[in-house]
Amino acid sequence: MTLLKIEDLNKSFGGLRALSNVNLNIQKGTVHAIIGPNGAGKSTLLNCFIGRLEPDTGSVVFDGKSLLGRQPHEINQLGVSRVFQTPEIFGDLSLLENVIIPAYAKRDGSFRVNAWSPVANDTGLREIALAMLADVGLADSAHNIAGQLSRGDKRRLELAMCLVQEPKLLLLDEPTAGMARADTNKTIELMQTIAKRGVTMVVIEHDMHVVFSLADKISVLAQGTVIAEDLPENIKTDPRVQEAYLGGAHL
């Protein structure tokens, strides 16, 4: 079943054609990687999913609803969570608060003034948030300030913040960018666990090690068009991909 359907997407910046006639079908329960050389339009494509950029023509339909023209918070409320290239967390708040806040968004919607009863009374959400932190291996530091975490731990926290909302679709923009190798491997393991739970993921990634250890399907973007879409093992040997991506070198 198609969860996210992108049809004939076009986007230009002045004279530059960033995306031309992009078509993508993301199947429910799969990990779909989008790869491509620098400037291929990967980030532009992702920004069109989530309400940051408005495409010139084309459609983005998620779960039967168009995502175009919607605010970021509306798209999240439809069930799309996003992990950023640089982890976006609440640096001044505790880890527990970082995870309990998205849980409130899921429960109470995009705006609700609950200014009287203390957070400490919402024991149900607290349990959920603590369990989520335990899942990503951060339970011990639940009461520490999130801004002091290492890059890898910030990423794990950000994943926990997304997962606590039980998203239908998780978008990841270079989830291991700027990480040490050990952190990268831990993050890959975590994402594999998430994938096994059946969360649909779209991953934009440079690192081929990450892509091939995660993806069920790979789309290759070059100069704003999808030049190949196939299973990982076929992508590896596809001559068009090697030509566009690495100028003929072997992956």
Q: Minimum Å distance from CB 115 to other proteins?
A: 4
| Span interacting with other proteins, options 27-35, 106-114, 148-156, 218-226, rule CB under 8 A | 106-114
Name which of 158, 215, 152 is nearest 178 in CA terms.
Answer: 152
Tell me if 105 contacts other proteins by CB under 8 A: yes
Tell me if 170 contacts other proteins by CB under 8 A: no
| Span interacting with other proteins, options 84-92, 149-157, 181-189, 222-230, rule CB under 8 A | 84-92
Name which of 138, 211, 133 is nearest 172 in CA terms.
Answer: 211
Cα–Cα dist 216/191, whole Å: 13
Nearer of residues 111 and 181 to other proteins, judged by Cβ: 111
Q: Minimum Å distance from CB 55 to other proteins?
A: 19
Cα–Cα dist 63/126, whole Å: 30
Do residues 218 and 233 make contact, with C-beta atoms less than 8 angstroms apart? Answer: no
Give the binding-site size for other proteins (rule: CB under 8 A): 44
Do residues 195 and 201 make contact, with C-beta atoms less than 8 angstroms apart? Answer: yes
Tell me if 100 contacts other proteins by CB under 8 A: yes
Tell me if 114 contacts other proteins by CB under 8 A: yes
Q: What is the DSSP letter of 145?
A: B
Q: What are phi and psi of 118, to 5 degrees?
A: -65, 155
Q: Which residues bind other proteins (CB under 8 A)?
A: 50, 71-73, 76-77, 81-82, 84, 88-94, 96-97, 100-102, 104-106, 108-122, 126, 143, 145, 161, 165
